[in-house]
Amino acid sequence: MPGYVNDSLPPMKIAIIGQKGVPNIFGGVEAHVTELATRLVRAGHTVYGYSRNWYTPKGTRMFNGIRIVRLPSIRTKNLDAITHTFISAMHAVLFVRPDVYHFHGVGPALLSFIPRIFAPFAKVVVTFHCVDATHEKWGKFAQFMLAAGERAAVTFPHETIVVSRVLKAYTKEKYGAKVTYIPNGITPRRGAADPILLEPLKLEPNGYIAMVSRLVRHKGAHTLITAWKKAKAENAKVFGDLKLAIIGGSAFTDDYVKELHAMAEGDDSIVFTGFQNGEALESLFMGARFIAHPSVSEGLPICILEAMSYGKAVVASDIPEILEVIEGDHGVPFKAGDANELAVKLTELVADPMLSASIGHVAREFVESDYNWDDIAVKTEHVYSPVPVTVNAKLAIE
């Protein structure tokens, strides 16, 4: 990354809108935006990362060369994203006047018409990360608006990016849309877990299986807890003192988090670490025996890509968006929502550490080759501004 540069495109002013904020503290979209924007800056572009006041610490004005614009929002489950997107879009139109407006998510895409009207010479791009309307945390009205956001995401912008081949097929079948597939990415990882960082959580390197996710129902932590308790009860000698670490916090889902704690009550082998980031999160990834991801709804989960980048085997739901990454020798699928089958898969990997290590090694090689952020940044630049390259090539021929 330090030497990343793309001389084929002119410098642009880019506003990135819709994410909770920059730098990444938690969230897959926020990780995507931070990694992408960092590389765009190093390629010579001026990048404005819009951030919600509650997410990005006060006084944060720059990160990796990204210009941070902190603005308010109405911090409720249904209004947080849309109010911040509106304020951010108007701020960009009135004060930043970028060459490119890049909206992230189908909710924020509802307002991508703003620069189409008020900044007609700018390029408008939307990244479609996930079919959010299927998530159980949303009520009927929110689901309706998110479904409308899907149509907006493939209608209002000049270009639409999708992060998985499954989403590309979905948008073509449902909306007849022509979109560009550019996946999420990873940064290659090497190192070992720091026992000092794990000790406060009562965890030891290679002494636990981990799930890394926001604690929302569609991510399936309840399925994992059920499977874990079943597998451990039936195979006590195999599991021994191994623990299950559930890493993540609430996302306007406090009732669900209480439900998970109630399920785990009295079982000391289940550890809730709460929200973690930075070196602590890195150590949690590196110290895990392997990773479980029982989600039933995804776009292209960055947490799986990250786990694979650490050389970890991943046992995950067999939904198409996940199979796109783990199918073949790259992971261990189980039937989505089936705690009994997940219990069997957990037992198989715990009983055979060499199998887990072998899958993790193959997975790391795969993601380092096919999901490289530098390549992703170059592809995104050409979505922003493909014209100069095409025109120059044509003129050279003529």
Look up the CATH architecture of domain 13-185+372-397. Answer: 3-Layer(aba) Sandwich (3.40)
100, 138, 141, 119: which is closest to 17 by C-alpha? Answer: 100
**Higher per-residue confidence, 121 vs 138:** 121
> Which two three-digit tokens encode residue 123?
């390029």
Whether residue 254 is predicted with pLDDT greater than 90 in this model: the reply is: yes
Whether residue 387 is predicted with pLDDT greater than 90 in this model: the reply is: no
Which one-letter DSSP state was computed for residue 372?
B
Q: Partners of 291 in the beta sheet?
A: 210, 314
Q: Residue 398: its pLDDT value, please? A: 27
Residues 339-385 pLDDT 10s: 999 999 999 999 999 999 999 999 999 999 889 999 999 999 999 97
Domain boundaries 195-370, CATH class? alpha beta
> Which two three-digit tokens encode residue 371?
């999901």
- For 16-77, give the DSSP string: EESSS-SS-SS-HHHHHHHHHHHHHHHTT-EEEEEEETTTSPTT--EETTEEEEEE----ST
Per the omega criterion (within 30 degrees of 0), is the bond before 205 cis? Answer: no
pLDDT band of 127, cuts 50, 70, 90 = very high
The segment(s) of the chain belonging to CATH 3.40.50.2000 are 13-185+372-397, 195-370
pLDDT band of 328, cuts 50, 70, 90 = confident
- For 248-267, give the DSSP string: ---SS-HHHHHHHHHHHTT-
CB atoms within 10 A of CB 179: 21
**Which amino acid belongs to residue 346?**
L
Residues 166-225 pLDDT 10s: 999 999 999 999 999 999 998 888 888 999 999 999 999 999 999 999 899 999 999 999
Segments in 112-207 forming alpha helices (H): 113-118, 140-155, 165-175, 195-198
Residues 257-302 pLDDT 10s: 999 999 999 999 999 999 998 899 999 999 999 999 999 988 788 8
Q: Residue 392: its pLDDT value, please? A: 35
Whether residue 235 is predicted with pLDDT greater than 60 in this model: the reply is: yes
Q: What is the mean pLDDT of the chain?
A: 90
